[in-house]
Structure 1
């Protein structure tokens, strides 16, 4: 039995919202469509999307969590949906009903933040693992349906 892991993925709010709102099921992609990071994630894992800015390359300091959900069964797959020859790797994600929430009130409470003055360092990786405590903090801040996320 797989013990679910918890992840933070980083994308612009615009891109995270596209994945969250995709029908019939949402999706995730990281690292500009790279496949390798998605192979670290397994069905049943939870993922929260953090957006440093509104649009890709943007300089506004939006700094919010956009979506939170559970990775669905299946392997990463190539999606030729963006056009212009861009074919990113994706995984399906069932996103929970939640509201977007700022990160600032959570920084001092996160286990993964070693120095609150330099809290953004880990976010440069594009995808990193966090513990269940930190995922619960995010879920609570987003007023997410924690039952659908299976967070204790």
Structure 2
């Protein structure tokens, strides 16, 4: 069996939802869609970027969580509103919330119009960008 190198991802989620995910040990993206979770594999890493404190909250523009994908596949459940949603098991690290403004000149994905990039909700980043974020967020 060949082991593949980990991939690195950003998920755009409000801080309020990030805190729920970290407490629950899961990742959820794009209002519970399965497709973005399927792109990730065990051993990949996810960094949450929070443009706001809550869906209708104040602007935040910070990286709010970092963790490793743990579960073998997304799992489904029914939301409180009766909709089918999907989550993925995660091992979240103890991270320091980090404003994106501090890292704009250091990240590849922020060159050009990075606002359009983060609006996609889930996208892959380079290993170099991940290491920059890891260094900024983790005090290991």
TM range (shorter): over 0.9
Match of 2:102 among 93, 100, 105: 105
Is the Cα–Cα contact under 8 Å of residues 107 and 119 in structure 1 kept in the other structure?
no
User: For residue 94 of structure 1, what is the aligned residue in structure 2?
Assistant: 91
1:38 Cα deviation from its structure 2 partner: 1.1
Which deviates more, 103-112 or 45-54? Answer: 103-112
Which sections of structure 2, spanning at least 5 residues, go unmatched?
none
1:144 Cα deviation from its structure 2 partner: 4.5
1:84 Cα deviation from its structure 2 partner: 2.1
Is the Cα–Cα contact under 8 Å of residues 68 and 144 in structure 1 kept in the other structure?
no
Mark the CA change 1:144 to 1:33 in structure 2 (over 3 Å): closer, same or farther.
farther
Q: Distance in 2 between matches of 1:97 and 1:87?
A: 30
1:41 Cα deviation from its structure 2 partner: 0.7
When the two structures are superposed, what TM-score results if normalisation uses the length of structure 2?
A: 0.92
Q: Secondary structure at the match of 1:20?
A: helix
Deviations 1:31-84 (A, max 9, x none): 1111111111111000000000001133x220111110000031111023x412
Q: Distance in 2 between matches of 1:104 and 1:113?
A: 10
Deviations 1:102-127 (A, max 9, x none): 11110111012222xx2211001100
Q: Distance in 1 between matches of 2:89 and 2:72?
A: 8
Q: Distance in 1 between matches of 2:60 and 2:20?
A: 17
Q: Distance in 2 between matches of 1:110 and 1:74?
A: 29
Q: Secondary structure at the match of 1:63?
A: strand
Which sections of structure 1, spanning at least 5 residues, go unmatched?
146-152
What count of residue pairs does the alignment treat as equivalent?
138
Q: As a proportion of its length, which structure holds more strand? A: 2
Question: What is the root-mean-square deviation of aligned Cα atoms in Å?
Answer: 1.3
- Whether 1:8 aligns to 2:10 is yes
When the two structures are superposed, what TM-score results if normalisation uses the length of structure 1?
A: 0.85
